[in-house]
Amino acid sequence: MWFWFGVAALFLLLEMATGTFYLLLVALGLVASGTAAYADLSLVWQIISGLAVSLIGLVVLHRYRQSKGHVPTQSNPNVVQDIGQSVIVDAWDENGQGSVFYRGSNWSARIDVDQPVHPGRHYIQAVQGLTLILRPGQYSASDTQH
């Protein structure tokens, strides 16, 4: 029983360090497993109860995020200051990748899915790591809602 609660506390600490809700769901599942152990249920039921609580929490979180029109962080202009900024692409390679000069340095760039590949002015649609995801034309806030 104490094992489950101890591991749950560890996951709560990890949750506070990362800021995601997924580790919180795992911690809640571990608490459910500890509660099942406290009720003298077998190890199989302890594991099943922990998995059930974690999976139910995941489904609830997923549906909540969908109902709020969740925009991924990498393409959210309220989070990433680069969204909507324009850059000039001199050339693309055959894979739809290139290099652009932006904010004083060279960045890797990739054309967004289903967009035409041609040089010229593009705007930043998303930032994935150190790669700018670009679209041709002018920025429109509705473009981030996919």
- Which residue range forms the structural domain that includes residue 45? 2-67
Give the pLDDT of residue 1: 78
Tell whether 16 and 60 lie within a shared domain: yes
Tell whether 46 and 88 lie within a shared domain: no
Give the pLDDT of residue 144: 53
Tell whether 82 and 52 lie within a shared domain: no
What pTM value is reported for the model? Answer: 0.50
Long-range contacts of residues 4-13, Cβ cutoff 8 Å, at least 24 apart: 4/30, 4/31, 4/33, 4/34, 4/37, 4/46, 4/50, 5/30, 5/31, 5/34, 8/34
pLDDT tens digits for 39-48?
A: 999 999 999 9
pLDDT tens digits for 14-70?
A: 988 887 788 999 999 999 999 999 999 999 999 999 999 999 999 998 888 778 766
